[in-house]
Structure 1
Amino acid sequence: KSTYSRLALILHPDRQMAKTETQKRKAATRMCDINRAKEILLDVERRRAFDEAGAVYSHEFQEWKKSSK
């Protein structure tokens, strides 16, 4: 939880105003990634599936891999 808070403070779009467009896009992508991870970890069923199968086999991870190319 504290790691999420720290990263959210760093990567939040409001904190990216002075950055280049490339840096803003990278920060936005990373922010989406940590938000997705937070959703998985806070949902009991999704967390259980993640813990049992691991990130490599999770549906969310596969979708993220496709979308990040």
Structure 2
Amino acid sequence: MHTGIAFFLYFSSVKELKGQTIAVLSYIDPISAVIVAAILLEERLSLMQMIGGILILGFTFLSEN
């Protein structure tokens, strides 16, 4: 149910956004899922997960400029 609502909101807003913004959001989505799992579900992040998240976000922001 929650996933369906989230996808509905995401895809209904896609038509209002620029392609570049949509691309950035698609990279940030998995990172935010890992962060929420760490905070709300108290899952432990490994060093490799943290490094991977930093690399994904870093290269995403570099490609924006």
TM-score (structure 1 length as normaliser):
0.48
TM-score (structure 2 length as normaliser):
0.50
The alpha carbon displacement at 1:64 in A equals 1.4
CA contact (8 A) 1:16 1:24 kept: yes
Structure 2 residue aligned with 1:13, among 10, 16, 24? 10
Query: C-alpha offsets along residues 30-49 of structure 1, whole Å, 9 cap, x if unaligned?
Result: 222211111222144x1xxx
Percent of aligned positions that are identical: 4
Structure 2: 5+ residue runs without aligned partners?
A: 1-5, 60-65
Corresponding letter in the other structure for 1:36: V
Bigger shift: residues 17-26 or 31-40: 31-40
Report the number of matched residues: 49
- Please report the RMSD computed on the Cα atoms of aligned residues, expressed in angstroms: 2.6
Structure 1: 5+ residue runs without aligned partners?
A: 1-8, 51-56
Structure 2 residue aligned with 1:67, among 48, 56, 65? 56
Query: C-alpha offsets along residues 2-60 of structure 1, whole Å, 9 cap, x if unaligned?
Result: xxxxxxx6xx532222211101011222222211111222144x1xxx5xxxxxx8331
Instruction: Quote the Cα distance in structure 2 between the aligned partners of 1:59 and 1:43.
Output: 17
Higher relative contact order (CA 8 A, sep 6+): 2
